[in-house]
Amino acid sequence: MQLVDAELQESRQVLPGQWLQQYHAPALAVSARAGQFVHLRTGDWSGLVLRRPFTINTADPATGAISLHFREVGRGTAWLSRLRPGERIDMLGPLGQGFQVDSRSRHLLLVAGGLGIADLRLLVDEALRDGRQVVLLYGCRDASEVYPSSLLPDEVEYLVATDDGSVGHRGFVTDLVLDYEAWADQAFACGPLPMLRTLAGLVAGRKGRLGVATLGRKRGGGRSVPPGSPAARKKAFLQVAMEQNMGCAVGACLGCVIWGVNGPQRVCREGPVFAFDEIDWDATAGAATHKR
Amino acid sequence: MKAKKRVVTYGKGVPPSRGAASSPAPKTHRTPTVRTIRSAIVEPRSAPPPRPASSAARPVGQPVAGPARSAVDLSVDLGRGLVLRNPILVASGTFGYGVEYADVVDIQRIGAICCKGTTLRPRQGNRPPRVTETPGGMLNSIGLQNPGVDAVLERYATQWAGWQVPVIVNVAGESIEDYVGVVRKLDLVPGIAGVELNISCPNVGKGGLQFAIDQEAAAAVTRAVRRATELPLIVKLSPNVADIRPIAAAIAAAGADALSAVNTLSGMALRADRSGPFLGNTYGGLSGPAIKPVALRIVYEVAQVVDIPVIAIGGVTGLDDVLDYLAAGAVAVQVGTAIFADPTLPVRLVDQLATECGRRGLASYELLIGTALPTRPNAASSKGVEYRP
């Protein structure tokens, strides 16, 4: 974790209201792992007192560039979208625990809802670099919001579901998951809370549906691992990236908690990536966040 | 001349020019204290009996050997041997237990760290969401999530004991027994420099806030804690009261060594679709620059009715805010919400304050304290704000 003065190199609107910005921040590009985030300080003019957390969309250690993908939802992101190349911004990062990929996993299933793709994008790069196969399932409202395949590597198998059926499968992205649950060694997801909750429900019943398929694979050799540890997360079939309103982003203020089965969990410190079975989905859904 | 109204008293044997000499080693509890002459309208209150400097008091915040950063004396005595190297503290709840920001901040240069509110037993805190930004500030309703005093001591006390920066433990509870129980466990533990009594958390359901709004209850809890410990005792005031002055006076009379003002203002926010309150706890505490005028008013009022040091809290984002609070009678300030945006701010403020004193030719920042307090008896400003009945 460090404070970095990052320079904006490129900013473009990739979808209506959604921006992709590339910053020169070598220190972050080298150390960032998929699922981690940065905490940005907005300009003082706006009277905004909090930093804004953004997941690291891509990181290229060779060029020292990281990119952020965000939607303009409020004054902070509006300010950010109007930054010009050459302007500098104060970033704190990389923060949080990233995705834990088991070294034996060959097939990764990635499930993204809307802007949740930003959390998984770096994982795509890391997985392909390590020679794994990646299936990306992407869900959104309609054709206008579909993540452009030009922003993805060619090696990814990319399936789209839209609510109105204007592109790809008509319905929820979670409908597509069953086709891949036997193929996948691990699954990773980010998106709206109902989507994640549905996925967690699906995964909870996966072993029963697959039956014998899991018998031959005793990951971890039956050793007990403390919940929340990287080893436990690797063992869980599904890891999810969560979001919450955030204060300090370093674990000091306890503002960004979500409810886990073992009590409150800090999204900034224990998260933002959790194993699906660490989260108390009923309590979390009951206190769903409402973006402002 | 305003300056004539202030009487600067020095500890015995310490020449007034000592500050410029900047030899940190012999510095003990004897630092100059600035007393303001109170205006005549304030009812005379029997001053708390001068407590003898306790032999149990540890040399907290002992000046470190090494090159002095500046010739300006920034040290401040908060009473009972709690001497800070500078008057910039970090506020409870915004800095965790001091370890969280250690990667990006030289925490040892901060005057003192007030740790997250600590209770007798572990607390899970309120349901999320717990924070949201508001114009010029933020609302939080953490609900005193903490692992309990035993776990806090086990995890952090050893580290704290090795730090140069004093750690003041913020103590919260729902009953006097809770407060006394926590403080008893803190007493005589190495690494604990003092206690800040949080009698004013607006985010816990039962009990908590009542101590802050009732002067009898506030005095009772202060007295009970005072009896339970020799640690320096700071009591944190709530702004959610009609008139802070009798409460502050009662707490001072009950044996507090210092006051800190203020905790957050009670507030709330709605969901974007206005279907209900945004925060899981419905109500939250407002902090940040938005509350600075309120906090400044309260510091200004409290500084006129008590003789013990007042620590200002509320919306400090720069040197101007520090100077404002000092002028209003505070001897030190706590930086809170601004840390989230700018973790290095407290350390920078230390440097900026020293530079400002140097620029004005002051040997000690204490000459900045209380310059804005009323000089005339019967001044309207000493009667409290006008809208009160």
Tell which wins on pLDDT, A46 or A264.
A264
SS3 B163: coil
pLDDT tens for each residue of A104-124: 999 999 999 989 999 999 999
pLDDT confidence of residue B70: 54
What's the CA gap between B91 and B310, in Å, rounded? 14
Does some domain include residue A176? yes
Per-residue pLDDT at A65 exceeds 60: yes
A291 contact B CB<8A: yes
Question: B14: pLDDT confidence band, cut at 50, 70 and 90?
Answer: very low
Q: What are A22's strand-pairing partners?
A: A10, A67
Does some domain include residue A102? no
pLDDT confidence of residue A165: 86
pLDDT tens for each residue of B161-178: 999 999 999 999 888 889
For residues A138-143, average pLDDT: 91
Measured N-to-C along each axis, helices B292-305 and B319-327 cross at an angle, to the nearest 10 degrees, of 30
The per-residue pLDDT of chain B, averaged, comes to: 81
Q: Encoding tokens for residue B196? A: 């800040």
What's the CA gap between A96 and A112, in Å, rounded? 19
For residues B109-132, average pLDDT: 93
A49 contact B CB<8A: yes
Per-residue pLDDT at B29 exceeds 60: no
| Angle B97-B177-B84 from CA coordinates, rounded to 5° | 35
Per-residue pLDDT at B382 exceeds 80: no
Question: A207: pLDDT confidence band, cut at 50, 70 and 90?
Answer: confident
pLDDT confidence of residue A153: 92
Please tell me which residue of chain A has the smallest CA distance to B282.
A287
CA distance B287 to chain A (A): 10
Q: Which of A95, A115, A142 is the last residue before a domain boundary?
A: A95
The residue whose two tokens read 């600035």 is: B34
CA distance A137 to chain B (A): 29
Domain count, chain A: 2
Q: Among A137-141, A224-228, B129-133, B184-188, which is the least confidently predicted range?
A: A224-228
CATH number, domain at A48? 2.40.30.10
Q: Does one domain contain both A193 and A234?
A: yes
Phi, psi angles (nearest 5°) of residue A73: -120, -15
The reply to whether residue A3 touches residue B344, judged by beta carbons under 8 angstroms, is yes
CA A136 to each of CA A173, A177, A189, A191: distance values in angstroms, whole numbers, following the listed order:
10, 10, 10, 13
Q: Among A202-206, B144-148, B301-305, which is the least confidently predicted range?
A: A202-206
In this complex, the residue of A92, A287, A292 whose CB is nearest that of residue B128 is: A287
pLDDT confidence of residue B188: 85
Q: Among A18-27, A234-243, B37-46, which is the least confidently predicted range?
A: B37-46
Q: What is the edge-to-edge ordering of all strands in the sheet holding A2-15?
A: A52-55, A37-41, A88-95, A2-15, A18-24, A65-71, A58-60
DSSP per position, A112-132: EEGGGHHHHHHHHHHHHHTT-
What's the CA gap between A139 and B388, in Å, rounded? 58
Is cis: bond before B129, omega within 30 of 0?
yes
What's the CA gap between A145 and A15, in Å, rounded? 6
Q: Does one domain contain both A194 and A264?
A: yes
For residues B252-272, average pLDDT: 93
A-B contacts (CB, under 8 Å): 117
Q: Encoding tokens for residue B158? A: 């050893």
Buried b (16+ CB within 10 A) or exposed e, B198-221: bbbbbbbeebbbebbbebebbbeb
For residues B48-68, average pLDDT: 41
Residue A144 near residue A15 (C-beta atoms within 8 A): yes
Which is nearest to B311 in space by CA: B208, B228, B233, B389?
A: B233
Tell which wins on pLDDT, A183 or B16.
A183
pLDDT confidence of residue A217: 53
The reply to whether residue B116 touches residue A252, judged by beta carbons under 8 angstroms, is yes
Q: Which of A61, A95, A129 is the last residue before a domain boundary?
A: A95
Pairing type for strands A37-41 and A52-55 reads: antiparallel
Q: Does one domain contain both A120 and A193?
A: yes
Q: Does one domain contain both A55 and A112?
A: no
DSSP per position, chain A: -EEEEEEEEEEEEEETTEEEEEEE-HHHHHH--TT-EEEEEPPGGG---S-EEEE--EEETTTTEEEEEEE--SHHHHHHHT--TT-EEEEEEEESB-----TT--EEEEEEEGGGHHHHHHHHHHHHHTT-EEEEEEEESSGGGPPPGGGS-TTSEEEEEETTSSSSEES-GGGGGGGTTTT-SEEEEES-HHHHHHHHHHHHTHHHHHGGGGTT--GGGG----TTSHHHHHHSSEEEE-----SSSSSSS--SEEEETTEEEETTTT-BEEEGGGB-HHHHHHT-----
Q: What are B382's strand-pairing partners?
A: none
Q: Does one domain contain both A88 and A128?
A: no
CA distance B358 to chain A (A): 28
Q: What is the edge-to-edge ordering of all strands in the sheet holding A273-275?
A: A169-170, A157-162, A133-140, A107-113, A186-190, A238-241, A273-275
Q: Does one domain contain both A72 and A118?
A: no
Does some domain include residue A291? no
Question: B8: pLDDT confidence band, cut at 50, 70 and 90?
Answer: very low
Q: Does one domain contain both A124 and A248?
A: yes
pLDDT confidence of residue B383: 52
pLDDT tens for each residue of B146-155: 999 999 999 9
How would you class A70 by CB atoms within 10 Å of its CB: exposed for 0-12, middle for 13-18, buried for 19 or more?
buried
Mutation choice for B interface testing from A248, A259, A266, A270 by most B CBs within 10 A = A248
Measured N-to-C along each axis, helices B215-228 and B244-253 cross at an angle, to the nearest 10 degrees, of 20
The residue whose two tokens read 């993908």 is: A69
The reply to whether residue A51 touches residue B288, judged by beta carbons under 8 angstroms, is no
Task: Identify the contact set of chain B against chain A, taking CB-CB distances under 8 A.
Answer: 93-97, 100-101, 103-104, 116, 124-125, 127-133, 135-138, 140, 142, 145, 271-273, 278, 280, 288-289, 337-344
Domains of chain B: 74-125+146-270+285-383 (3.20.20.70)
The reply to whether residue A252 touches residue B273, judged by beta carbons under 8 angstroms, is no
For residues B352-372, average pLDDT: 91
Per-residue pLDDT at B4 exceeds 50: no
In this complex, the residue of A1, A51, A244 whose CB is nearest that of residue B340 is: A51
Say which DSSP state B264 is in.
Answer: P
The residue whose two tokens read 């000092």 is: B326
Does some domain include residue A46? yes
pLDDT confidence of residue A208: 76
Does some domain include residue A267? yes
Residues of chain B in contact with residue A287, where contact means CB-CB under 8 angstroms, are 127-129, 280
Measured N-to-C along each axis, helices B244-253 and B292-305 cross at an angle, to the nearest 10 degrees, of 50
**CA-based R_g, chain B, Å:** 20
CA distance A243 to chain B (A): 11
CA distance B340 to chain A (A): 5
Q: Does one domain contain both A145 and A40?
A: no
Give the H/E segment covering residue B140.
strand B137-140
Per-residue pLDDT at B28 exceeds 90: no
CA B52 to each of CA A116, A180, B7, B49, B79: distance values in angstroms, whole numbers, following the listed order:
62, 75, 22, 9, 10
Q: Encoding tokens for residue B229? A: 């410990």
- Active site positions of B, annotated: 201
Q: Does one domain contain both A31 and A113?
A: no
Does some domain include residue A136? yes
Please tell me which residue of chain B has the smallest CA distance to A51.
B341
A255 contact B CB<8A: yes
For residues A43-48, average pLDDT: 72
What's the CA gap between B97 and B112, in Å, rounded? 12
Range of the domain at A203: 107-286
For residues A141-149, average pLDDT: 90
Phi, psi angles (nearest 5°) of residue B263: -75, -175
Per-residue pLDDT at B24 exceeds 90: no
What's the CA gap between A65 and B283, in Å, rounded? 42
Q: Which of A60, A95, A130 is the last residue before a domain boundary?
A: A95
For residues B233-259, average pLDDT: 93
Please tell me which residue of chain A has the smallest CA distance to B340.
A248
In this complex, the residue of B94, B103, B278 whose CB is nearest that of residue A1 is: B103
CATH number, domain at A201? 3.40.50.80
Phi, psi angles (nearest 5°) of residue B68: -70, 135
What's the CA gap between A291 and A52, in Å, rounded? 13
Helix spans in B229-312 (H): 244-253, 292-305
Does some domain include residue A147? yes
Residues whose CB falls within 8 Å of the CB of residue B282, separated by 6 or more in sequence, listed in order = B141, B268
Q: Does one domain contain both A46 and A134?
A: no
How would you class A284 by CB atoms within 10 Å of its CB: exposed for 0-12, middle for 13-18, buried for 19 or more?
buried
Give the H/E segment covering residue B358.
helix B345-360
Q: What are A175's strand-pairing partners?
A: none
Q: Does one domain contain both A46 and A112?
A: no
Does some domain include residue A65? yes
Phi, psi angles (nearest 5°) of residue A261: -65, -20
In this complex, the residue of B101, B280, B289 whose CB is nearest that of residue A252 is: B101
Question: B6: pLDDT confidence band, cut at 50, 70 and 90?
Answer: very low
pLDDT tens for each residue of B303-314: 999 999 999 999
Q: Does one domain contain both A10 and A149?
A: no
Question: B108: pLDDT confidence band, cut at 50, 70 and 90?
Answer: very high
The per-residue pLDDT of chain A, averaged, comes to: 88
What's the CA gap between B209 and B236, in Å, rounded? 11
Buried b (16+ CB within 10 A) or exposed e, A256-283: bbbbbeeebbbbbbbbbbbbbbbbbbeb
A287 contact B CB<8A: yes
CB count within 10 Å of CB A216 equals 6
A47 contact B CB<8A: yes
For residues B297-301, average pLDDT: 94
